[in-house]
Amino acid sequence: MTFGSTGRYYKPAITLVALLLLTLAFTGLIDKTGQEVTEAAFKRALLTFGVARGLNGAISVAQGTEISISPGGLGLNLTPGEILDPVNDLIERFSWVMLMSSTSLGIQQIFITISSSLAATLLVSIAVLLALFLLWRPSSSGPGVQGFVFKLALMLLILRFAVPVGAIGSEWVYNYFLSDQYQLSTALLEDTSSEITSLNRTSQPSGSSMEEPGLIDRASRWLDSASESLEIEARMERYKETATQASEHAINLIVVFVIQTIILPLVFLWLMVRFLRKVWD
């Protein structure tokens, strides 16, 4: 195909694409999809934020619990919260990340609402129709005016669909690369919170008799104390295991939400700015 034959088709092709984009703008198909995926991500962020706060509460209860044992007649006080203190700091930061992610998704929802408004759509339509008019009737204005109108129409079209398309792209990345990690880590983090809550209940001190024990009672209590010491040691090991699991899965969820709600939007914004500069230049 020669250049001349190609030139006969570029005006109809540009017109067809522009009218198709205007149709999508007025029907709101892309906007609706963008709103849906953003709302789904927003709900995930709020759910995970609730899980993080619940785990933080369970750890706070554990930090205020003391376990008293008397192995060999020696009194010892153990604090499970000392084991959980490092993971508690991580969960606090994790909660801030989830709050920031929820805020980012809320801002995206507002931008989609603004860009899909009737006023924004009418503004884009006027610019695009004017550009199409000048495309078919180039003698109506000078080259400088035509170039400005074409650039303005293209930039408004990009801005019109940028946020919903970016949201759809982020959700696509989540569904294909991050979804399994999110579901697994969230479920295990909930299990970890339940485990710590259960350990807190079994760590409550039991009442003791104030009467002077006899020889048989002393022997019985010594055996009970030795058995209880072994149980408490196992319980403390469970605290350590749950702390390790909580740290691992909290970090996994931080990675998921930082990628989807912070890194991907910033990358998309950077690409859009670069593209707009090239269009204008």
246, part of any domain:
yes
Query: Is 45 part of a structural domain of the chain?
Result: yes
Residue 264 in contact with residue 170, Cβ under 8 Å?
Answer: yes
**If the chain, 281 residues long, is cut into consecutive pieces of 10 residues, what is the mean pLDDT of each piece?**
55 92 94 95 91 85 63 53 77 88 92 94 95 89 86 92 93 93 91 81 52 48 48 70 84 93 90 85 75
Residue 126 within any structural domain of the chain: yes
**What is the structure's pLDDT at 275?**
86
Instruction: Compute and round to an integer the Cα radius of gyration of the chain.
Output: 31
Answer whether residue 149 is part of any domain: yes
What is the total count of domains within the chain?
1
Instruction: Please give the Cα distance from 231 to 202 (Å, whole number).
Output: 10
Tell whether 194 is covered by a domain: yes
CA 236 to CA 248: how far, in whole Å?
19
Query: What does the block give as tokens for 52?
Result: 């993080």
Q: What is the distance, to the nearest Å, from the Cα of residue 50 to the centroid of all Cα atoms in its chain?
A: 12
Measured CA to CA, the distance from residue 281 to residue 175 in angstroms comes to 36
Structure-token pair, residue 37: 């995926």
Question: pLDDT value at position 15?
Answer: 92
Cβ atoms of 22 and 160 closer than 8 Å: no
pLDDT score for 68: 54
Residue pair 62/199 in contact by the 8 Å Cβ criterion:
yes
DSSP, residue by residue, the chain? --HHHHHHHHHHHHHHHHHHHHHHHHHTHHHHHHHHHHHHHHHHHHHHHHHHHHHHHHHHHHHT--EEE-GGG--EEE-HHHHHHHHHHHHHHHHHHHHHHHHHHHHHHHHHHHHTSHHHHHHHHHHHHHHHHHHH-GGGS-HHHHHHHHHHHHHHHHHHHHHHHHHHHHHHHIIIIIHHHHHHHHHHHHHHHHHHHHHHHHTSPPP---SPP-HHHHHHHHHHHHHHHHHHHHHHHHHHHHHHHHHHHHHHHHHHHHIIIIIHHHHHHHHHHHHHHHHH-
Q: Range of 247's domain?
A: 33-200+240-280
Contact 163, 114 (CB under 8 A): no
- Per-residue pLDDT at 229: 53
Q: Which pLDDT score is estimated for 150? A: 92
pLDDT value at residue 72: 47
Longest dimension (CA), the chain: 114
Q: How much is the pLDDT for 64?
A: 67
Asked, for residue 6, whether it belongs to a domain, the answer is no
Please report the pLDDT score of residue 226 as a whole number.
45
Give the pLDDT score at 4. 44
Question: Is 222 inside a domain boundary?
Answer: no
57 falls within a domain = yes
